[in-house]
Structure 1
Amino acid sequence: MRMIVVLLVLVGVAPGCDRIKKSTPLIDAVRAKDSAKVAALLKEGANVNATVRDGTTPLIAAAATCQWPLIKTLVEKGAKVDVYDASKTSPLMYAVYHCSSTAKIPLAYTVVRYLIEKGAQKGDLQKTGFSPAMQVCLGGREAFHPEAMRYYLETGLTRADAAIKSGTPLHCAASRGLVAYATLLLKHGAKIDARDTKGQTALHLASDRGHVRLVRFLLSKGADPKLTDKQGRAPYYYASALDVRIALLQHGVDPSSPHRLGAKPPDACKAAKTKDAQRTCLIKAFEAKLRGTPPAPSPSTK
């Protein structure tokens, strides 16, 4: 028996631990979201930090299913917040993964802030490359939670310019037209001309999606409309919406720049002799088209 105990200690299993089991009654109750059973087991003296074969603890199980009341109960009963399962995932990491659906952004903020206040290591998320800022963005406008975003950014829980496979949080904001979100990111150090794996900037994505308010915002903050992606294409190439094309032209884009529609300049603009004249004519033509009125002929300019 003594030899068995020694072997368990050597592999990291303390006496009284349940690591050799697949689960425990307390973990089962947490997974079943049975708060009454959890309370009863804790009252009977169940080990709040019991660790089973895959490294799961009751708190990890609660965080993985985003159960805020149980998370709080377990921590108050002494559950350790800095624990990791076999996949090296902590309760904090699970909380961000599983509490950040569109409807749960405020809940994620509550859980994450609580765990950090109780001693969870913020660096866990930075190691994974997972970004709470990106997760909030993926929820779209209805999920935007300024207070949560400010907390994530100001505490260093996530970086405004943190890049993952799909780009930076600013790319996400651009693709969804989230001006308020982009404003916060830039205020906290996001790089306005950062590129994704395709070499595209946030301006490329906003132009492609037709988000004119965000296009104008990015341009006003210094986004370069002449930068090209890995295919040699500038944002103007992707801009189908006339108001987006107007905004780009107003910021100095070459009126003869390639466009994916292969659009030729209106007849009224063919007489324009200079780039500036062509640009002015195109802007007027597009504005007239938006209003539904034919453009007036443009005089030739030398």
Structure 2
Amino acid sequence: MSNSDYLPDYPLNSDLVKRLKSALDAKDEERVRDLICTEVTPVDAVIELANDDWMKDPSAQLPPGMLLGLWTLEYKRELTTPLCIAAAHGHTACVRYLLGRGADPDASPGGRGALHEACLGGHTACARLLLQHRADPDLLSAEGLAPLHLCRTVASLGCAQALLEHGASLQRVGGKGRDTPLHVAAQRGLDEHARLYLDRGAYVDTRNGCGETALSAACGAARRPDEHGRCLRLCALLLRHGAEADARDEDERSPLHKACGHASHSLARLLLRHGADAGALDYGGASPLARVLQTAACALQAAPQRTVQALLNHGSPTVWPDAFPKVLKTCASVPAVVEVLFNSYPQLCVSESWKEVIPEEAFQMHKPFYQSLFALAHTPRCLQHLCRCALRRLFGKRCFDLIPLLPLPKPLQNYVLLEPRGVLH
């Protein structure tokens, strides 16, 4: 039954709903508890908290965006129950009181049950109470999501543990993306959730609706800087459990493509150490190197030159020489990227015409580097550089592993590994 089929016991314009919404807006937890535990009857009453049925008011002024979608002729209502409200706000005593009065733990007039709400809020005590009162650990929401799919925050780890203790399925796919709980943990960078699921037997390389494994999903999710550590631990965990480092999604993109799309050099190095193909091409013909070059100017804080270095030191083909001016144009504001890439060629014919593709602001900001670049317009590279290229050609894909073993001073090893210096010689 859809939520439009329910007749709310407390419609939106009722006095109780007005007072309840006021208490919720004011975050007055005591008043919310008092209203749902003492004034709402019956115990499983359906409460209407919102209603955007514009058809009920022909004079309503509709926004232009809505006018474009009138063909749906649908509206949405937010329906809920006292138990769902209590669980969503973590009111454990209130949940216990309502269950004691016979509230149905699986009632879901709004499309989600109380267990879904508890998991969304990370309220472990509420989740355990509901499960003890026989809430279905695999109850599907209107969107096809089980409670485990809604364990999306660090605070929800206890909820996930409780669900698994009560028999929740780790292999169930949910929602439009057909994600498993492990996919959800991977997308959110929840390394402890992933560890829990893997220890309980989750399949590490199950594919979702886009053909992604959990590793692919983790590498593709955008991260805040403070989340990078958790994401790296999560990916290392997945790889230790046998995740395929080169698994391709429906667009033939590998986890390495996605890590490079965020210029995540630590993640790229991790994948490369586990055998990821540095030269893999997606359906659009883009390599991981192309992906990091495309994003370099927008990822200055990520030090994209480190990712370029890692790829080239693990055997990535470099850019076709005729395409170098395009790289120069795209990455002009990140001269370290230009330097690392330029030094991967034994000799690249520098043209004065390249100056036209470099924005004047970038040229002036990084003038010493660009002056050193154009000084090579009619000059062969130095012998030291040519020796570097000979060694790199000899070691091929094993540069990263073998060059540190050479009996060379550390600065010279770094030079052979394309460490940028700020100018070209």
User: Under TM normalisation by the shorter chain, which class is it?
Assistant: 0.5 to 0.7
Deviation (angstroms), 1:132: 3.3
Does 1:155 pair with 2:175?
no
Match of 1:245 in 2: 268
Change in CA separation of 1:36 and 1:255 when aligned onto 2, cut-off 3 Å: closer
Q: 1:214 to 1:84 in 2, by over 3 A?
A: closer
Q: Could you say what secondary structure the match of 2:250 adopts? A: coil
Task: Decide which structure has the larger Cα Rg and report it.
Answer: 2
1:216-267 deviation digits (Å, cap 9, x = unpaired)? 3222211112221222222222333333333323223344334343364535
Would the aligned equivalents of 1:170 and 1:190 in 2 still touch at CA under 8 Å? yes
Q: What is the total number of aligned residue pairs between the two structures?
A: 261
- Contact kept? 2:131, 2:166, Cα under 8 Å: no
Structure 1: distance between partners of 2:46 and 2:238: 50
User: Structure 1 224/91 Cα, relative in aligned 2: closer, same or farther at 3 Å?
Assistant: closer
Are residues 72 and 114 of structure 1, via their aligned partners in 2, closer, same or farther at CA, if it must alter by over 3 Å? same
Q: Which residue of 2 aligns with 1:293?
A: 414
The one of 136, 145, 164 aligned to 1:130: 145
Residue aligned with 1:218, SS: helix
Show the 5 A alignment for 1:66-85. Answer: 66-76=90-100, 78-82=101-105, 84=107
- Answer yes or no: is the 8 Å Cα contact 1:199–1:230 preserved in 2: yes
Q: How does 1:272-287 map to 2 (within 5 A)?
A: 277-282=395-400
Give 1:115 deviation, angstroms: 1.9
CA offset digits 1:83-114 (Å, max 9, x no partner): 636456544444445xx1xxxx1xx2211211
- 2:249 paired with 1:229: yes
Q: TM-score, normalised to structure 2's length?
A: 0.48
State how far apart, in whole Å, the 1-side matches of 2:84 and 2:113 are.
7
Aligned to 2:129: 114
For the 8 Å contact 1:225–1:253, the answer to whether it is kept is yes
CA 1:224 to 1:126, structure 2 compared with 1: closer, same or farther past 3 Å? same
TM-score by length of 1: 0.64
Among 276, 279, 291, the residue aligned to 1:256: 279
Which position in structure 1 is the counterpart of 2:235? 215
One-letter amino acid of the counterpart of residue 187, structure 1: D
User: Are the counterparts in 2 of residues 160 and 188 from structure 1 also a CA contact under 8 Å?
Assistant: no
* Cα distance in 2 between the residues matched to 1:120 and 1:144: 20
| Aligned CA distance change for structure 1 residues 127 and 246 (closer, same or farther; 3 Å) | same
CA contact (8 A) 1:272 1:278 kept: yes
2:218 paired residue number: 206
Aligned with residue 201 of structure 2, among 163, 176, 189 = 189
Q: Is the deviation greater in 264-273 or in 158-167?
A: 264-273
Cα separation, partners in 2 of 1:229 and 1:41, compared to 1, 3 Å: closer
Question: How far did 1:65 drift?
Answer: 5.3
C-alpha spacing 1:246/1:39, structure 2 compared with 1 (3 Å): closer
How big is the alpha-carbon RMSD for the aligned residues of Structure 1 and Structure 2? 4.3
Describe the SS at the equivalent of 1:253.
coil
Quote the Cα distance in structure 1 between the aligned partners of 2:278 and 2:94: 60
Q: Which runs of 5+ in 2 are unaligned?
A: 1-6, 24-28, 49-78, 223-227, 282-286, 291-307, 309-316, 319-343, 346-387, 419-425
Q: How far has the Cα of 1:133 moved from its partner?
A: 3.2
